[in-house]
A = this chain, B = another copy of it.
Amino acid sequence: MTETLTLFPDDAETLQADTIVPASRLTACVEALYIASSGDFETRPIDVLQLGFDGIANDFHQGLTRRSGGREPWYPRGTEMRNERQLSIVAPDELVTIAELMALPEIRPEWIGANILLSGIPKLSMLPARTKLFFANGVTLKIDGQNHPCKLSGRSIARHAGVADEAAGALLFPRVAKRLRGLVGWVEKPGRIETGEAVSVHIPEQWIYRA
């Protein structure tokens, strides 16, 4: 197992299969916060999120466990499982890209149930699993992975944006928003997150596993 840091020229970016890409850090900023406090997945702006080990207090996705659904075809629907989807995190630039691809003036984080609008991380949706977000005031979130865009969020976008053909709009979102719809994760260390807070993003070592 080699652990050399290889330099990658932009025009010929290649990676040896057994190369370990070292851990690294980035800095991000909490642009806005949102909570799903009305009994469904859509969120509304809020200045502060209060977090426990079970996620955001009084939020639709709060829970140490959750019920399985369409994302887990290997379980009977409704199976109790660990909740790795306590929070939804999106990036302003990725929402702009999705809006452009859908020919809409904007997509607001609350339409798709985001809890944190996080700026400063290029290609936020591509951050690897196990990345940690250390918030300046003490909270730590851990990234599970990409949030897959679904028809439900598509329908919400179509409705809020006033798309004429709502059904077509709902279907367009899952097609164009893949790898742009942000991340889900859970609380590693509880506390309070405030708008404007700085975040230190710790990206773990990376490699490609091949059997």
User: Interface of A with B (CB < 8 Å)?
Assistant: 1, 8, 13-18, 21, 24, 26, 53, 64-65, 74-75, 79-82, 84, 121-123, 126-130, 134, 140, 142, 144-145, 179, 186-189, 203-204, 206-211
* In the A-B complex, the 6 residue pairs with the closest CB atoms: A129-B130, A13-B17, A129-B129, A14-B14, A15-B15, A82-B188
Other-chain contact of A53, B21, B65, B122, B140 (Cβ < 8 Å): B65
Query: Do residues B209 and A206 form an inter-chain contact, with CB atoms below 8 A?
Result: yes
Partner of A209, one of B1, B123, B144: B123
* Copies of this chain, whole number: 2
Give Cα distance in the complex from A16 to B8, angstroms. 11
Q: A206-B209, A208-B208 are in contact. Are A53 and B82 (CB under 8 A)?
A: yes
Residues of B within 8 A of A17 (CB): 8, 13-15
> Apart from A8-B17, A21-B208, A81-B188, what 14 extra A-B contacts exist at CB < 8 Å?
A13-B16, A13-B210, A14-B17, A15-B15, A80-B189, A82-B186, A82-B187, A121-B211, A122-B211, A126-B209, A128-B209, A129-B129, A145-B204, A206-B209
A120 vs chain B, min Cβ distance (A)? 10
Q: Which residues of B contact A134 (CB under 8 A)?
A: 74
Find the B residue at minimum CB distance from A65. B53
18 contacts between A and B (CB under 8 A): A1-B179, A13-B17, A13-B210, A14-B16, A15-B15, A15-B17, A21-B210, A53-B65, A79-B189, A81-B140, A81-B189, A82-B142, A82-B188, A82-B189, A129-B129, A129-B130, A203-B209, A208-B208
Residue of B nearest to A132 (CB): B74
Q: How far is the CB of A23 from chain B (nearest CB, A)?
A: 11
Residue pair B79, A211 in contact (C-beta under 8 Å):
no
- Structural contact, B209 and A127, CB atoms closer than 8 A: yes
